[in-house]
Amino acid sequence: MAHVNSLRCRECGREYEVAAIFTCEWCFGPLEVAYDYDAIREAISPEKIANGPLSIWRYADLLPVDRNPAVDLGAGFTPLVRADRLAAELGLGEVWIKNDTVNPTNSFKDRVTSVALAKALELGFKVAACASTGNLANAVAAHAAHAGLQSFVFIPADLEQGKVVTTAVYGGNVVAIDGNYDSVNRLCAELADTYPWAFVNVNIRTFYAEGSRTLAFETAEQLDWQAPDHVVVPIASGSLLTKIRKGFDELVKVGLLDEANVRVSGAQAEGCSPVARAWIDGTDTIKPVKPDTIAKSLSIGNPADGYFALDAVRETGGGLSAVTDDEIVDGMVLLARTEGIFAETAGGVTIATLKRLAAEGVVRPDERVVAYVTGHGLKTLDAVVDRGRPTAVIAPTLDAFHDAFPPEQFDH
């Protein structure tokens, strides 16, 4: 049973009843789910969570959905990997990677989609839809298939073939739009006004975004119910970073953590860094940009939750950085080489930012640090093809192998 009181505007505080609405009618600010934390505190315990499913639904008491069983393809409860070799290279102490590459469709979007479609079923919708450049498209198509919902996924027409295939294979409708992601998004906002469909990142966004909090819940549980000192989170719309911070604070409210003093740092690509730019310039105004970066899953030039992400970084004493495309690829390779985790470009942004913030002394060696790696490297192979050549190409003979790899240099 969901412990939800209402939906509340983050900007002006006006309250609304639970429904498929996403912005405040008065000021257009984003709506957020307001929970009954006393009721959650009564209902929840570490034991109950430990006995729950191995997915985000082990935190059902903290999710805004009544429906049970929910739509569960196994999103979440991904590994928290101790990253000592990476830490050593960066001059840090205790570093952990939250490896969200291993979700059902290989990105953290499975978390938010699982919550969104469960809510969509509860609200009586028959069709799931979204605007996406790839990760969300995969997640919505897969979860809609699993839930027996029809789906409409809207993508830019120039999307890579791999992302089209890994969406279309689930059998829903994939509509390619002649335009960029921002045009797709605007069309979806109009369609959401016209059709009674559950657009997960439009009219269901209020519930959808809540799924990101599970990244904080899991991190705390996997650290034996302790909060990290510092987290590094990629920013596109700013929602993920905002919700991870909220998640740690909520665990204190419901009695699962004694305290949470988590510094929150944000990662952006230089080619799409409206939030980092505001931070660097020391201004309160976030100016939209036209994205131009290999980190396409972070390419939102007009971030809806950018102001809240900026506030979260400022309030917690974190930092923000904008890294170049070369640094992103270096970050992907560094993580793969040191920890055996192959991240998409967004993960490269996170690792490159962690590296910069460590060098600047913002992330410190005495801190327990968690870096959020949100999507799998196979999704953005094009970015690393130049780094993925064979070490040697040889004839199929022992001599040829010895020529390429002199035996005296190796144990045998």
Partner 1 sequence: MAVTVRIPTQLRELSGGVAEISADTGTVSEVLAALNTAHPGFAERLFDDKGELRRFVNVFVADEDIRFLDGVATPVTDGQTVSIVPAVAGGV
66-105 positions binding partner 1, by CB under 8 A? none
- Closer to partner 1 by CB, 129 or 254: give it: 129
- How far apart CA 104 and CA 214 sit, in angstroms, is 15
Q: Does 307 bind partner 1 (CB under 8 A)?
A: yes
Q: How far is the CB of 47 from partner 1 (least distance, A)?
A: 33
Contact 104, 140 (CB under 8 A): no
165-224 positions binding partner 1, by CB under 8 A? 181, 185-186, 188-189, 193, 201-202, 205
102-161 positions binding partner 1, by CB under 8 A? 108, 130-133, 136
- How far apart CA 147 and CA 6 sit, in angstroms, is 26
Binding-site member from 15, 25, 38, 360 for partner 1 (CB under 8 A) = 25
Between β-strands 263-269 and 320-323, what pairing exists: parallel, antiparallel or unpaired? parallel
323-352 positions binding partner 1, by CB under 8 A? 346
Q: How far is the CB of 398 from partner 1 (least distance, A)?
A: 49
Cα dihedral 15, 18, 23, 25 in deg (nearest 10):
-60
- How far apart CA 184 and CA 222 sit, in angstroms, is 38
- Closer to partner 1 by CB, 234 or 331: give it: 234
Judged by CB under 8 A, the stretch of 116-124, 229-237, 249-257, 393-401 that binds partner 1 is 229-237
Binding-site member from 78, 106, 206, 239 for partner 1 (CB under 8 A) = 239
Q: How far is the CB of 243 from partner 1 (least distance, A)?
A: 11
- How far apart CA 206 and CA 31 sit, in angstroms, is 6
Contact 304, 30 (CB under 8 A): yes
- Closer to partner 1 by CB, 240 or 262: give it: 240
- How far apart CA 157 and CA 151 sit, in angstroms, is 18
Q: How far is the CB of 379 from partner 1 (least distance, A)?
A: 13
Judged by CB under 8 A, the stretch of 20-28, 41-49, 91-99, 361-369 that binds partner 1 is 20-28
Binding-site member from 6, 11, 252, 311 for partner 1 (CB under 8 A) = 11
Contact 373, 350 (CB under 8 A): yes
Binding-site member from 64, 234, 271, 319 for partner 1 (CB under 8 A) = 234
- Closer to partner 1 by CB, 30 or 228: give it: 30
Instruction: Tokens 């799998």: give the residue.
Output: 376
What's phi and psi for 45, nearest 5 deg?
A: -160, 160
What's phi and psi for 5, nearest 5 deg?
A: -90, -45
- Closer to partner 1 by CB, 7 or 240: give it: 240
Binding site for partner 1 (CB under 8 A): 11, 22-30, 108, 130-133, 136, 181, 185-186, 188-189, 193, 201-202, 205, 234-237, 239-240, 287-288, 290, 297-300, 302-305, 307, 346, 374
